[in-house]
Each structure stands twice: as structure tokens, then as C-alpha cells.
Structure 1
Amino acid sequence: MSDSARARREQPSAEQRAWLAKVAEGASRDAGGVPVELLGDYLPLLADAAVDGRRPKRAELEAVGRLGRQAARQGISAGRVVQLYLSAARRLWQELPAVVRSRDREEVRAAATAVLAVIDDAVATLAEGYNESRRALIRREETSRREIIDDLLRGDSDLGGLVERAEPFGLDLARVHQVALAAPNRRLPDTDAAISALEAVIFDRLGDRDVLVATKDGLLVVLAPASSAQAERAAPVRDGDDLGLLIHGELSRLRHGPPWQVAVGRAYPGVYGIARSYEEAREALTMAARLKLDGPVVGAHDLLVYRVLLRDQPAIVDLVSAVLTPLALARGGAQPLLDTLDAYFRTGAVATETAKLLHVSVRTVTYRLARARTLTGYDPADPEHRFTLQAAVRGAKMLNWPTEALPSPG
């Protein structure tokens, strides 16, 4: 490189500075107003390549990488930043001084090759820096998301601190919220895909504020605002069906995803209401597993009667012990008779439907019902006896009897 060319690069004239500034401003407009500062020394690098064929040095490319990280921190999309750089290159090439455009064909080809090489190196370095910063931001956001979800669901953190930390996520903790939990049949699949899918559809339906999607203890957690009608009611109402179906429908569309079951807690106001809704959703999942409820969506409201039963555990243990333990005397133990009674009650006391549900013959069903009546003294077909038997069967399911021994009455 000649001394005059080196001097031109290191100390551009006022005319050259004005020309490059014009190119930068045009590129910024093309990219939707991306700040021209993000170009750094990129335009002089292109000009040097066009005039002298100079390739950028490592330090100059590292500076471009830092600009990519800066763009990510400013929340500018990668597409717009790349558009800024490509538009700047196009405009610079079109507006190169006449002395460059008037060269012979080989010189123009060499200049174009040098410029394209700079574009290739610079854009690749820019994207690498951008992605590096985005990955760091995502990791920090995921950590913050997990921490605030844990604290909100635990319900015992400093209220003032929670309000401040929730603000960046757009959460208004004074509003009425509800919590939904999605449990896969097997190990949680692609977590990022599930969270992205849920966020997209829930944000579309509910807006991008007051919604958090995260994972906890192998479950997907969705914190969402209650509807206006729910929020205006003085007491919690049956309010989880729409949210639960929305979540289940979106998760079911995930590629290679396992079947899901979604449990939704009732809607409550305030920070402690979030923790309460979460506990209800967890309890609903546990009860659904114990009771073998295989529906896609389980609402806490629908399981209130079982919560009432479990609140007086000594009483329900006594009921199961007094009514059902004689079933253990049957050949094959209590489990087949207990499952038959459960299916019989779930099908509205119709033996043919019970047989279909259990994949056995109607004769087997009637035999088992007769054995249960003989052993317990309660007739499943008698309306007076049926209530006691059904309550005892539900209690046994919740206590996981006879797989587990009944708790001590004391």
C-alpha cells in the first residue's frame, strides 16, 4: 500500500467523512432506523478494500463483534442489524468515487472481490457477537425466570422485592392470577420448544403481560391472568377449563411430544393467591394420578370433594378400613374388586359399560359386584349403600390402598 493511500485511510478528508456519513444514514433508513453507531468502522473497511484491496485485521473484526453484542443488548433484531450492514455495503459500492468506478474490468473485479470478502468476514463476526450476547441474555433471563417462578409459587418471599423483580416480566401482582401445570406422561421433552409454543399462543390470546411460562420439578408451569369476569367475582369460581384446553391443545401439537395432562388451580388475587393456585394445581395432578383420571384437563374446582375428604384423614381411613378391608379376603386380593367398583360408579352403575371399560365380560363384572356385596355387606346397586361404597372407594384411591397400607388412625 502506498504512503498516500495509508494516509487517506488513517486521516479521511472532510469530503470522505461526509460521503461515508451519507452512506451510513441511508443504510440506517433501509434497516428501519437502526443506529448508525452500530456500523463502527465498517464503512472505512469497505472503502479500503475497494480502493486498496486491504483485508480487515483481527482487532478490526473483533470491534465488529462487539458491535453485534451491543445490538443484542439494545434489543435490535438480528435481521435488522444484518440488513444495516448489507445495505451499507450496497450503497457504498453504488456511490464509490468515479476514480474507482472508472478502473478497467480486472481492477473492478478485484475491488468487488475484496469488498465481498470484507462483507463476508464482517457480517459473520457481527452475527457471532450478536448470538453470543443473546445466549448470555437468555441464560440470565432463564435464571431470573426460574427464580421468580420459584418465589411466587412458594409464596413466602419478601412482597416488596417480588413486586420489583416481577416488573421486568410485565407482571402486575395485584391482579387475579391462576396457575396451570402441564405434566407429560414421560420425561419432559424439548423444554425450549414447549415453552416457546406455549408463550406464543398464550401471548396471542391473553397479551404479553402478566404471563410467565417456565419449568419446575419436571412440569411446565403457566402463570396467567384470570379473565375479567373471573377477576370481578368475590370468590374463586370454576375458571380453568379455557386456559387448560388452550395449553393442552398447543402442547399436543408439538412434534414427537408425549400425551400431556394439564391441571389448573383456581384464580385468586395477589402474591399469596398465586401460591394457593399452584398448590391446588399440584394437588389436582396428584389426585388425578391416584384416582386414575385420564382426562386431558383437570380442574381444581372439580376435585373439591376429594380435598374435603382428605382434610379429615382419620375419618376417611376409618371409612376405608371399616367398609373395604374385607375385600382383601377375596381370591386375588382387594384390587380387582376395588377397580370394578370404581369403574361401576364411574359408568353410572351400568354393568355393560363397566365391562367395556375394564375389558372383561359382563359376567365377570356381575360376579365381582356380588362378591363385593357379600364381603362388605354393602350392595353397589342399592342407592343407600352406593354413597357409602363410592366414598370409601374414592378414599381408597386417594390413600393408594391396597397398594400401600392404610395410615395409622392416630
Structure 2
Amino acid sequence: MDAAATPEEALARIARAAAGEQGAPVGLLDGYLPAVLAVARTGRRLGVAEEESCRRLGGEAARAGVSLPALVDLYMTASRRLWPELPDLLGRVRSRPVRPAELVGIGEVVWRAADTALAALATGHLDAQHEVVRREEAYRREFVDDLFSGRSDVGSLVERAEPFGLSLTATHVVTVAGTDRPIDSGMHVAGAVEAAVRARTDGQGLLVAAKDGRLLCMLSSPAADGRGGGGIGPQELAEVVGRAVARLTHRSSWRVGVGRPHAGPRGVLRSYREAIDALDLAARLELPQPVVHARDLLVYRVLLRDETAMADLVQTVLGPLVDARGGAEPLVCTLAAYFATGGNAAATARALHLSVRAVSYRIERVHALTGHDATDPADHLPLLVAVTGARMLGWPRRRLVVD
């Protein structure tokens, strides 16, 4: 130790040497070595202000990207470098040399102070990490809400997407998955599903998030073939997402709506809305398949474009069925099954767990009440469209409003 140096200068030199050895900012040791020297001189514990300073420095280290193990190594290195010089420093601040018998007691209070400092550093480091995670999660939720609601301007969305590794000018396809159990951001489903998708793709343009009780998945998808990052197609992507969601939510049934590929931020929103519409239409129509594509349901969107006209058609063609014994619903279900089986009465009976005679009777009742014969090709189209409209509008359970 340089005899001409003051204790403060000696402590600053030790701090610089420790920081240089560990490759860390020397400012992360701010106040630690003087506090240790004071503890060694008085035998006291670290004070409240000194512990708070360590917590603050732990937070600064986390925000600067210094890991907790690296921070601990820095403080241990500083303590190790201080120890051989501590007797001389104590002798100078106390104006008398340290007696050998005092060293054990000094060592105890010094390492107790170091232990307290490390605990405070760890607390501050972890608190800062949690704060960063919470802030990033909030930022991500806000970005997802703005992207899939259309509330934010395009330029802002493109800029905000960059930290997530997303290029919104590219073409993307969006899938939306759901079960009978709502999915929320606290269920850790999104992270697990994202890992499952990345295992099958290169993850290009991938964003997975819970929204409105469902799980959305966005993936870069060249418009030419619809295949996403890593060559995965929309159907395969939907199946990967659906199976993962069902497994993670402990549900046996699941359904995924798949939007069409579109370019740009507004294209992402359009694909998302198509996926949502596909899910809703599939539920209304009670479609059996777990994956429903918006492109396959375009005809239904056309039918619903004028909902008032559709309601009028349903009421006009099927309205008389409400006077049947048992109401209209059994007859509408029979018509739907009959058309789904291509007009095969035997197959319809099997699907509805009825006898062929019962199916034939119901078809005849429809003819008698409405004047439309399901077995007559001339009556097939109006009945088919009316039955489809009834299922889409929830009739007869839901009352129709016709102007």
C-alpha cells in the first residue's frame, strides 16, 4: 500500500482493480468499500442507508445487463483485494496498529457485512428484473391490443414491432384457437405454444398471445403459397397450435380459425378478423372439423352480408315450422342433416339416431307445413339456404327481426 495515499484513495484503487479484473463498471461498487472499512473499525452492522444503496446498485446492475453471478463476483473480488490491506487502513484511521488478536473479530464483522450487502444486491437485482419483465409484458400487451384492434396508426405499429423481431410489411397469416375454457395471459399458454411452433418453423414473424379468451398466433407467410416460416402451411400450423392449446388447458376438444394471408399491418388485422369470423361461423353451423379456414367459409359471409334479407328468407320459408308438434327445431335439424348427407334418408337417420321412417315423416311434415319438398331438386336451393341461414342466425332459439 502506498503510504502517501489517503484511505479514500486506497479504497478507490482497490475498487478500480476489482472492476478491471471482472470487467464491470466500477460505479457498481459505489460506497461498498468505505462501508466495509467503517464496519471493521466500529464493529457495527451495515446501516439501513448502506443496505438501500446496495439494493439500488443491484437494480442498476440488472438494468445495465450485468448478471447477478457477475455482480457477486465483483463484490467478492473487491472484498478479497481489500482484506490484505485492511489492517494497515484500520491502523491509519484509528491512529494505532491492529493487534493480531483483533483480526478474528474484524473478519467476522467484515464478512457479515459482505453477506448483508450481497443479500441486498440480490434483492435489488431481482426486483429490477421483475420490473423490466412487467414493463415488457405491459408493452407487449399494449402492442398486441393495438395491432389486432386497428386503433393505432400503421407507422407506429411498424416501428413498435421491430423490438419483437417482426416485420409488419411482410405477409402474415393469423390463426385463433379456443376451447370451452377461456385462455388468459396468466395461464402461461402463449409461451408453451410459441415454443411448440418454433420447434416446427424458423419462427419468422411469429407472435403468440392470449386475447379475449382465445389464443392468437401470427406467422410470416408468403402470399404465393400460404406457407409460413420454415415451410409450414396454415393447416399444419393450426393443428400444432390447437393440439398444444388443448393439452395445456386440459381440454379434449379444440377449434382453430385460420385467416387468409395478407400483407402489412392492416393485413394482419384482416387475417385476424377472418380467423375470428371463421371460429364464430363454425360454432353457429356446428361444423365438425377442428380447423376451419376463412377461405372455405366465404359463401357464408356472403349470405350474412345482408342479415335482414337472410332473416326474411328464413322467416318466409321455415316460419310455418313453428306450428309443428315439438316446434321447428327438430325439423330444421333433420333438414340440415338430410342436406349434409346428400339427401340420403338412411344416413340422416344414422346421424340423428332415428329410424328411416321417422326421418321420412319429418321431411313430409316440412313439405306439408312450408310447401317446400326437400326431395324435389326445384325446392332444394331455397330450403338449403334457409336452413343454413337459420343455423347462422340461431333460429328458432333466437327471435328474428324482419323489417
Name the TM-score, length of structure 2 as normaliser: 0.77
Deviation at 1:370, TM superposition (A): 4.1
Deviations 1:231-290 (A, max 9, x none): 699xxxx96323322221221221546854322211101122122112212211221221
User: Once superposed, what is the RMSD of the aligned Cα atoms?
Assistant: 4.0
- Cα 1:84–1:113 change in 2 (3 A) is farther
Which of 274, 277, 285 is matched with 1:283 structurally? Answer: 277
Identity of aligned residues (%): 42
Alignment of 1:5-404 (within 5 A): 11=7, 14=10, 21-28=16-23, 37-42=27-32, 55-74=45-64, 76=65, 81-88=67-74, 96-97=83-84, 111=107, 115=111, 117-118=112-113, 120-155=115-150, 157-189=152-184, 191-207=186-202, 210-227=205-222, 229-230=224-225, 240-254=234-248, 256=250, 259-347=253-341, 349=343, 351=345, 354-355=348-349, 357-360=351-354, 364-381=358-375, 385-404=379-398
Question: Quick one: distance in 2 between partners of 1:99 and 1:123?
Answer: 20
Aligned partner of residue 404 in structure 1, secondary structure = coil
Deviation at 1:121, TM superposition (A): 3.0
Q: Would the aligned equivalents of 1:186 and 1:258 in 2 still touch at CA under 8 Å?
A: no
Q: Would the aligned equivalents of 1:49 and 1:111 in 2 still touch at CA under 8 Å?
A: no
Moved more, 59-68 or 83-92: 83-92
One-letter code of the match for 1:146? R
Deviations 1:346-377 (A, max 9, x none): 45555555455445555544443443344344
One-letter code of the match for 1:167? E
Greater Rg over alpha carbons, structure: 2
Question: Quick one: distance in 2 between partners of 1:123 and 1:360?
Answer: 76
Q: Would the aligned equivalents of 2:281 and 2:392 in 1 still touch at CA under 8 Å?
A: yes
Consecutive unaligned residues of structure 2, counting only runs of 5 or more, are 88-98
Number of residues of Structure 1 aligned to a counterpart in Structure 2? 386
Q: Would the aligned equivalents of 1:173 and 1:271 in 2 still touch at CA under 8 Å?
A: yes
One-letter code of the match for 2:390? A
Question: Quick one: distance in 1 between partners of 2:189 and 2:323?
Answer: 48
Consecutive unaligned residues of structure 1, counting only runs of 5 or more, are 1-6, 29-33
Q: Would the aligned equivalents of 1:260 and 1:296 in 2 still touch at CA under 8 Å?
A: yes
Name the TM-score, length of structure 1 as normaliser: 0.76
Q: Would the aligned equivalents of 2:171 and 2:262 in 1 still touch at CA under 8 Å?
A: yes
Deviation at 1:402, TM superposition (A): 0.7
Aligned partner of residue 178 in structure 1, secondary structure = strand
Question: Quick one: distance in 2 between partners of 1:23 and 1:181?
Answer: 53
Deviations 1:171-213 (A, max 9, x none): 3221112222233313335635122223333455555663333
- Cα 1:295–1:98 change in 2 (3 A) is same
Deviation at 1:104, TM superposition (A): 9.2
- Cα 1:315–1:119 change in 2 (3 A) is same
